[in-house]
Structure 1
Amino acid sequence: MNAESLFIGPQLIGIILLAVGFIQKRFPPKSINAFYGYRMPSSMKTQQTWDTANRYSAILMIKIGIVLIVTGVALSATLGVLNIKNDLRVGISAIILMATSIISCILLIVLTEKHLSKKFDT
């Protein structure tokens, strides 16, 4: 396993989600805006939904980030142990990176929207 394989794949998305989650948790957006925070129509209805959505999504980003980092490192180690040509390994890593990016975003939105609908009957 080489050094660059430690940062390609799900762990890259995990590191980004972890960093963004910590930043959003430490410096939550104070008011509804179009630039920073969890910006979906349901979260922008009232200040209370905005605060709840941003608090919940920050914690969720941290949790998803940790899971992706751990699984990404394990996956990189597995791909490194397998006797796969480097070109194929890079292709597999790229596909996994795209898939985990999409799945993470969908999961974040779905779970945050469910939380808001339970809490506010939207």
Structure 2
Amino acid sequence: MLLPFLHSTWCNAAIFAGALFFFMGFFIHRYPPKSTKSWYGYRSFLSTKTPEMWRSANEYAAYISRRIGVILILTGIACALLFNRQSDWFLYITIGAVVAGTMYMVGDTEWELTRHFDKDGNRILPE
């Protein structure tokens, strides 16, 4: 019973990773990590500089993660409907979407931090 599902197009990386991204973004939004010592949260060199950068990075990463989750789920459903078997192109598209979504989340969150904070971790005030 499990084997036919594993070989169907409905079992793909985009749907599973999309659900994980959406849940992760919802969880971090609903229960933000209190400090950099928390077991979960968006953790990078920039995000752990100051508590304000930590809070800002996790808030933004949770927002982006939910958006990417929805896009990945829709991509996975579209691939499940378009392909009749798990071919090479099916795998390239579904796994490539997950990799691209992950890279986008990290890159966009880091860019957002550099736009709003200076190199010492102080918030840049708008002029």
Fold in common (TM above 0.5): yes
| Letter in structure 2 aligned against 1:100 | A
Per the alignment, residue 83 of structure 1 pairs with none
Report the secondary structure of 2:55's partner residue.
helix
* 1:118 positional shift: 0.6
Residue 63 of structure 2 is matched in structure 1 by 59
- Partner residue of 1:68? 72
Are the aligned partners of 1:9 and 1:93 in contact in 2 as well (CA < 8 Å)?
A: no
Say if 1:34 and 1:91 are closer, same or farther in 2 by CA, change over 3 A.
Answer: farther
28, 41, 62: which is aligned to 1:24?
A: 28
- What is the RMSD computed on CA atoms of the aligned residues? 1.9
Q: TM-score, normalised by structure 1?
A: 0.82
Where in structure 1 do 4 or more consecutive aligned residues deviate above 6 Å? none
Q: Which runs of 5+ in 2 are unaligned?
A: 120-127
Choose between structure 1 and 2: higher helix proportion: 1
- Deviations 1:14-42 (CA, angstroms, capped at 9, x unpaired): 11100111111111100112631110010
**Distance (Å, rounded) in 1 between the aligned partners of 2:52 and 2:14:** 33
Quote the offset at 1:76 in angstroms.
1.2
| Number of residue-to-residue matches in the alignment | 114
Shift of 1:12: 1.6
**Once the 2 structures are TM-superposed, how far is the Cα of residue 101 of structure 1 from its aligned partner?**
2.6
- Aligned residue number for residue 5 of structure 1: 9
% identical equivalent positions:
29
AA in 1 matched with 2:47 = S
How far apart, in 2, do the equivalents of 1:9 and 1:52 lie? 29
Instruction: Compare relative contact order (CA 8 Å, sep 6+) and give the higher one, 1 or 2.
Output: 1
Using structure 2 for the length normalisation, give the TM-score: 0.79
Q: Which runs of 5+ in 1 are unaligned?
A: 81-85
Mapping 1:92-103, distance limit 5 Å:
92-103=89-100
Query: Which among 34, 37, 42 is matched to residue 38 of structure 1?
Result: 42
Q: 3-state DSSP class of the match of 1:6?
A: coil
1:78 paired with 2:82, answer yes
